[in-house]
Chains A and B, each alone.
Chain A
Amino acid sequence: MMARINQWRNARIQHWLNKRIPAKIQHVLNQRNIFILPSRFGFIYLTLCCCLFILGSNYQNNLMLLLCYFLLAVFLLHLFMSFSNFAGLTIQIGKVSSVFCNEQVQLPLWITNGSSSIAHGKLQLHLFKMKSIDKKGFAAKQQQIIDLDNFDNPASLSFKASQRGVMQPPRITLSCYFPLGLIRCWTHLAMDSEIVVYPSPLPCALSLSEESSDDQQATGNSSGVGQHEFDRLRPYTQGEPLNQVAWKQYAQGRGLFTKAFTGEQGRVRWLNFNNVSAMDVETQLSQLCYMAVTLSQSNQTFGLRLPNHTVEPQSGQLHLQACLNALARF
């Protein structure tokens, strides 16, 4: 029962937040997206003021009353100072680099001051997390504290990616207690960006299908990567592994060449989704991922065939990324 209520409430909050603070690449903090309430210390402080008031009234002690009112006035001013300090901050998300599943995602955040004010104090960053919501499976609350008077952009907030796929970054909570810690100004920002989470590589035997270049599927699977004989030199393209660069020729001043081997030509090898047998789709993808990474490390040329997508055979870093992307978006 409680869980149901919680769920319903969280959904309401989420819905409300989505309407109030929709995802954007850049947020400028203003009265629309700032929340402001006394911090826990603020509440203790107000209790202290109450105590002083009662004590001062009972002892008919005007100085104590004055102190109480002074502290209250400080509290009131604090409200204004906190808000005007926090408002105007601009938070922009940088490019999020893709990661494998179960690795840490780094969200780069560019935090800059507005034109009219300079923010001070410590800024606490963490993922917005509601009670018992863990659908996306973000790992435990990680907090990052930056000192607005002394930090280097971008601030980065990291969390563990626990599910393959493409996702929006989670909501980020930023809070600031400037100047005296009595009042907390905070916001839950949704950043408009894409995080690509590749499947985590799962070691397995390589299973490649060979096809001739005219796209006819070959029969047998070759196990392992065969040894190939040196065939010829071709001009180096960026991204090719350095161990295949013809250093000798380079030293002779003839420019950068890559050694090409037989076996690269004619026959093209494919990683085929349908040829990988595993319990479920995720495991299949993980295994494909492992193979792609392994092949890429030895600079093999290969293609990737998924039911909904095909990556043409190629080699090199960019190709690997294309493959991984395809796996992530499967």
Chain B
Amino acid sequence: MHSSHSTLRRNGSHIALSISLLLSSLSLFEPLQGWIISLATIAVMVRLALALHLQKLPPSMRTLNLLAVLSALALAYFGWQLGLLLAMVNLLILAAALKLMAIRTERDYFQLVTVVLFVIGCGFIFNQSIAYSVFYWLLTFSVLLSLALYISPSLPLTFIFKLLSKLCLIALPIAIMLFLLLPQIGPLWQLPTAKGAQTGLSEKISPGDIARLSQSSDLAFRASFEGAMPDPTQRYWRTIVMEHFDGHSWQIHPQRKRQQERYLRANQVFDIALQGPYFDYKVIAEPSHQHWLYALDIGSSNDPRVWQNQDYTLTSKRPLQSTMQYVLRSYYQQPLDQGLYQLDHFLNLQLPTEGNPQTQQWVANLRAQHPQNGAFIAALNSYFTGNNFKYTLKPSPMPVDMVDRFLFDYQAGFCAHYASAMAYSLRLGGIPARVVTGYLGGERHEGNYFSVYQYDAHAWVEAWLDGKGWVRYDPTSLVSPERQLYGLERAVAYENTFLSDQRFALVKLKSIAWLNQLRLQLAELDFLWSRWVLGFDQQQQRDLLKQLLGQLTPHRIMLFTFACFMGVLLSLSLYYFRHWWWPQTDQRQRYYRQALSLLAKSKIHRDSTLGPQAFSQHVNEHYPATISAPFMQITNDFINVLYAGKTQQSTKQLKQQLRRLRAGLRKFKRS
């Protein structure tokens, strides 16, 4: 392709491309740095000004080179701690913005188109909702529009729109077919994840953390059940087990972490004997950029991506970059007593060296009164129930001796306070105990599935009882039974703090019936989207093929795929080369033929020796103007098409002439 050809009007294509770039970079406002977005905006302004002839000269190459160097320095300065993925996205937009200002040759333009398409693709890493998907499809369309305008500058816009819409409408089913048929391959290698994008529970909690998480109405995951559903008291979605306490916050014990990594590396599977009744369900987890998965006790999965840990939690072998679906079976009556007894005991009797003296004293007294484990735990529980403890989202800060302050001074806190205080007390009393975080509850929908939101995050306690294994205790539910039975919103209704930071959360408007209806329908739609589009994976692909083909032999799959491709190619060639198979006369000639047959019906026959022009004259001389005038128009156009290859009238006009001719003939017959 040649570059000298800049005279043709190509502004439309530049405008469409600039706008696509601007919108795609705006949609990435979270991962992008502010100054890069402003640079992109400026670049788009410059390009638009050039395209609309507000500005004649593009910025000089020297200016742009200087700008490029400065930006690269700035990006290196600001971006080196961003992590590879974010740095890449930032760099991509930066390069596109600079390129946009410097489009000179055809090659520049095509490079920029490629980059913008790639940016749109990257957008899907960060935004996967339905709305964003539609938005990105529109952007893709506008990039294609830009290309079409570039290649055919003088085609009318409506024509190009039609052409592209047709193209997209045919391409989409083919794309979906490819998506369903082409084997999904697993991740080839570990890609950089977006730092700071991690959402949901963290691996270390201080008492305030979960309260902060509770201000978020983001979806954490969905669980869709087959058969039995868990009661509200069973909906403890176990996620992370924390065994190390430093007097203030809980975290995963480093030793446990090392052990798990070792097992994973050696591929040493934690085999649990499981029996008893169970729930069958499927979890569709939202991207959290973490490894943790959610399950009811004791969850097990055959999914090769899911790893069973020694503490009965499940992790994904790769961080959840996008929606992940996994099938689970939870044996809810199976005791948690098959771990490494020695290690469990050693880790879970660990105590911080100092702090919380009041609690230590109090537990020592209590333990002296109740040497029996059961009685001791009951005494602890009754302390929580008997002292007017309050469940609040706005606990007072307790920086020093947190357990002391909570148990004896404020007596009001969030779940993490309760869990922390109880686990600590149990350890002081010589009972191995730990804090488990996860989610409690979930919104139940029709169709037997739950939506669990971030504000459902919860923390509870597990204590080791000989003969029973790890037993769950939830001191929060003693203080606030509503939390367990009805969820956070009811539990904190008295203090009106539910999602108080989010002024416009739809969940808060539950009381307005139609809004709630709308919200539930949107949630339903989103569920289907996550389940069938975002969560479509190898397993589902196999199931789908099994349904279509019966048994899956490689032979059959190959044959089927081949047949599908041939089918597509065949139907496309039938469609695009239809005039080869079914030669059809030109539309214009058809109108002339129609006019002739209309005349023939009224006994006006064209002598085979008469040419079109002569026949038209003949009609003109012998018949009234109501017939001859429209017929002459049609004849003229026919002659034009036939001999000049050009038409002067639109099909609409021709149709109108035909109608006039018909009316004229009718009148003629009557008279």
Binding between chains A and B = yes
Q: Please, how many angstroms separate the alpha-carbon atoms of A115 and B534 in the complex?
A: 47
Q: How far is the CB of B28 from chain A (nearest CB, A)?
A: 14
**Is A150 close to B, CB under 8 A?**
yes
Taking a contact as CB atoms under 8 Å apart, the answer to whether B136 and A73 are in contact is: no
**Neighbouring B residues of A59 by C-beta, 8 Å:** 125, 187, 191, 321-322
Taking a contact as CB atoms under 8 Å apart, the answer to whether A147 and B153 are in contact is: yes
**Is A67 close to B, CB under 8 A?**
yes
CB contact list, B144-170 vs A, under 8 A: 144, 147-148, 150-155, 163-164, 167-168, 170
Taking a contact as CB atoms under 8 Å apart, the answer to whether A180 and B187 are in contact is: no
**Neighbouring A residues of B154 by C-beta, 8 Å:** 147, 149-150
Taking a contact as CB atoms under 8 Å apart, the answer to whether B121 and A70 are in contact is: no
* Chain A proximity mask over B639-651: 1 for CB below 8 Å, otherwise 0: 0000001000000
Contact partner of B576 among A71, A72, A81, A181, CB < 8 A? A81
* Chain A proximity mask over B540-580: 1 for CB below 8 Å, otherwise 0: 00000000000000000000000000001000110111010
CB contact list, A147-185 vs B, under 8 A: 147-150, 177-181
Closest to B148 in A: A179
**Is B324 close to A, CB under 8 A?**
yes
Taking a contact as CB atoms under 8 Å apart, the answer to whether B175 and A77 are in contact is: no
Task: Report the stretch among A37-45, A217-225, A274-282 that lies at the interface.
Answer: A37-45
- Which of B152, B178, B318, B321 has the most chain A CB atoms inside 10 A of its CB? B152
CB contact list, B290-340 vs A, under 8 A: 318, 321-324
**Neighbouring A residues of B153 by C-beta, 8 Å:** 122, 147
Taking a contact as CB atoms under 8 Å apart, the answer to whether A70 and B322 are in contact is: no
Closest to B172 in A: A70
**Is B110 close to A, CB under 8 A?**
yes
Closest to B579 in A: A116
Size category of the binding interface on chain B: 35 or more
Q: Please, how many angstroms separate the alpha-carbon atoms of A66 and B175 in the complex?
A: 6
Contact partner of B151 among A45, A76, A178, CB < 8 A? A178
**Is B4 close to A, CB under 8 A?**
yes
**Neighbouring A residues of B121 by C-beta, 8 Å:** 51-52, 55-56, 64, 67-68
**Neighbouring B residues of A40 by C-beta, 8 Å:** 1, 110
**Is A54 close to B, CB under 8 A?**
yes
**Neighbouring A residues of B188 by C-beta, 8 Å:** 54, 57-58
Q: How far is the CB of A144 from chain B (nearest CB, A)?
A: 10
Taking a contact as CB atoms under 8 Å apart, the answer to whether A72 and B178 are in contact is: yes
Taking a contact as CB atoms under 8 Å apart, the answer to whether A44 and B191 are in contact is: no
Taking a contact as CB atoms under 8 Å apart, the answer to whether A61 and B322 are in contact is: yes
**Is A62 close to B, CB under 8 A?**
yes
Taking a contact as CB atoms under 8 Å apart, the answer to whether B187 and A60 are in contact is: yes
Taking a contact as CB atoms under 8 Å apart, the answer to whether B187 and A57 are in contact is: yes
**Is A65 close to B, CB under 8 A?**
yes
Q: How far is the CB of B436 from chain A (nearest CB, A)?
A: 28
**Neighbouring B residues of A121 by C-beta, 8 Å:** 151-152, 155
**Neighbouring B residues of A63 by C-beta, 8 Å:** 124, 128, 133, 136, 322, 533-534
**Is A124 close to B, CB under 8 A?**
yes
Taking a contact as CB atoms under 8 Å apart, the answer to whether B125 and A61 are in contact is: yes
Size category of the binding interface on chain A: 35 or more
Contact partner of A73 among B113, B125, B174, B583, CB < 8 A? B174
Taking a contact as CB atoms under 8 Å apart, the answer to whether B322 and A76 are in contact is: no
Taking a contact as CB atoms under 8 Å apart, the answer to whether A66 and B534 are in contact is: no
* Chain A proximity mask over B112-154: 1 for CB below 8 Å, otherwise 0: 0110011011101100100001001000100010011011111
Contact partner of A181 among B111, B133, B150, B182, CB < 8 A? B150
Closest to A176 in B: B151
**Neighbouring A residues of B4 by C-beta, 8 Å:** 143
**Is B537 close to A, CB under 8 A?**
yes
Taking a contact as CB atoms under 8 Å apart, the answer to whether A73 and B124 are in contact is: no
Taking a contact as CB atoms under 8 Å apart, the answer to whether B110 and A181 are in contact is: yes
Contact partner of A80 among B5, B168, B576, CB < 8 A? B576
Q: How far is the CB of A72 from chain B (nearest CB, A)?
A: 7
Taking a contact as CB atoms under 8 Å apart, the answer to whether A177 and B151 are in contact is: yes
Taking a contact as CB atoms under 8 Å apart, the answer to whether A74 and B179 are in contact is: no
**Is B384 close to A, CB under 8 A?**
no
**Neighbouring A residues of B136 by C-beta, 8 Å:** 63, 67
Q: Please, how many angstroms separate the alpha-carbon atoms of A287 and B344 in the complex?
A: 111
CB contact list, B181-213 vs A, under 8 A: 182, 184-191
Question: Are A181 and B151 also in contact (CB < 8 A) when A69-B179, A73-B174, A145-B5 are?
Answer: yes
**Neighbouring B residues of A106 by C-beta, 8 Å:** none
Q: How far is the CB of B667 from chain A (nearest CB, A)?
A: 36
**Neighbouring A residues of B148 by C-beta, 8 Å:** 179-180
**Is B2 close to A, CB under 8 A?**
yes
Q: How far is the CB of B262 from chain A (nearest CB, A)?
A: 26
Q: Please, how many angstroms separate the alpha-carbon atoms of A124 and B537 in the complex?
A: 46
**Neighbouring B residues of A57 by C-beta, 8 Å:** 184-188
Q: Please, how many angstroms separate the alpha-carbon atoms of A315 and B233 in the complex?
A: 117
- Which of B8, B121, B150, B586 has the most chain A CB atoms inside 10 A of its CB? B121
Taking a contact as CB atoms under 8 Å apart, the answer to whether A143 and B2 are in contact is: yes
Contact partner of B155 among A69, A120, A180, CB < 8 A? A120
**Is B176 close to A, CB under 8 A?**
yes
Q: Please, how many angstroms separate the alpha-carbon atoms of A288 and B114 in the complex?
A: 60
Taking a contact as CB atoms under 8 Å apart, the answer to whether A180 and B147 are in contact is: yes
**Neighbouring A residues of B174 by C-beta, 8 Å:** 69, 73, 76-77
**Neighbouring A residues of B175 by C-beta, 8 Å:** 66, 69-70, 72-73
* Chain B proximity mask over A80-122: 1 for CB below 8 Å, otherwise 0: 1101100000000000000000000000000011011100111
Q: Please, how many angstroms separate the alpha-carbon atoms of A58 and B163 in the complex?
A: 34
Q: How far is the CB of B149 from chain A (nearest CB, A)?
A: 10
Taking a contact as CB atoms under 8 Å apart, the answer to whether B167 and A48 are in contact is: no
* Chain A proximity mask over B576-594: 1 for CB below 8 Å, otherwise 0: 1101000110100000000
**Neighbouring B residues of A62 by C-beta, 8 Å:** 179, 322-323, 533-536
Q: How far is the CB of A79 from chain B (nearest CB, A)?
A: 9
**Is B600 close to A, CB under 8 A?**
no
Closest to A177 in B: B151
**Is B171 close to A, CB under 8 A?**
yes
- Which of B110, B140, B321, B323 has the most chain A CB atoms inside 10 A of its CB? B110
Q: Please, how many angstroms separate the alpha-carbon atoms of A72 and B565 in the complex?
A: 13
Closest to B188 in A: A58
Q: Please, how many angstroms separate the alpha-carbon atoms of A66 and B176 in the complex?
A: 7
Q: How far is the CB of B583 from chain A (nearest CB, A)?
A: 7
Q: How far is the CB of A143 from chain B (nearest CB, A)?
A: 5
**Neighbouring B residues of A67 by C-beta, 8 Å:** 120-121, 124, 136, 140
Taking a contact as CB atoms under 8 Å apart, the answer to whether B171 and A70 are in contact is: yes
Contact partner of A41 among B110, B172, B577, CB < 8 A? B110
Taking a contact as CB atoms under 8 Å apart, the answer to whether A178 and B140 are in contact is: no
CB contact list, B620-648 vs A, under 8 A: 645
Question: Are A44 and B179 also in contact (CB < 8 A) when A61-B128, A145-B5 are?
Answer: no
Q: Please, how many angstroms separate the alpha-carbon atoms of A83 and B136 in the complex?
A: 29
**Neighbouring B residues of A178 by C-beta, 8 Å:** 151-152
Q: How far is the CB of B4 from chain A (nearest CB, A)?
A: 7
Question: Are A179 and B111 also in contact (CB < 8 A) when A57-B185, A62-B534, A69-B179 are?
Answer: no
Please list 19 pairs of residues, one from A and one from B, whose beta carbons are closer than 8 Å in the complex, sorted by A's number. A44-B110, A44-B114, A58-B191, A59-B322, A60-B187, A60-B324, A66-B533, A69-B179, A70-B171, A70-B172, A73-B171, A73-B172, A78-B167, A115-B586, A116-B579, A120-B155, A147-B154, A149-B152, A180-B151
Q: Which residues of A contact B (CB under 8 A)?
A: 39-41, 44-45, 48, 51-52, 54-74, 76-78, 80-81, 83-84, 112-113, 115-117, 120-122, 124, 143, 145, 147-150, 177-181
Supply 14 further A-B pairs (C-beta < 8 A) apart from A57-B186, A60-B318, A78-B167. A48-B118, A59-B187, A60-B321, A61-B125, A76-B572, A77-B170, A83-B576, A116-B579, A122-B5, A122-B153, A147-B8, A149-B152, A179-B148, A180-B148
Q: Which residues of B contact A (CB under 8 A)?
A: 1-2, 4-5, 8, 110-111, 113-114, 117-118, 120-122, 124-125, 128, 133, 136, 140, 144, 147-148, 150-155, 163-164, 167-168, 170-172, 174-176, 178-179, 182, 184-191, 318, 321-324, 533-537, 568, 572-573, 575-577, 579, 583-584, 586, 645
Closest 4 CB pairs of A and B: A116-B579, A73-B171, A73-B174, A70-B175
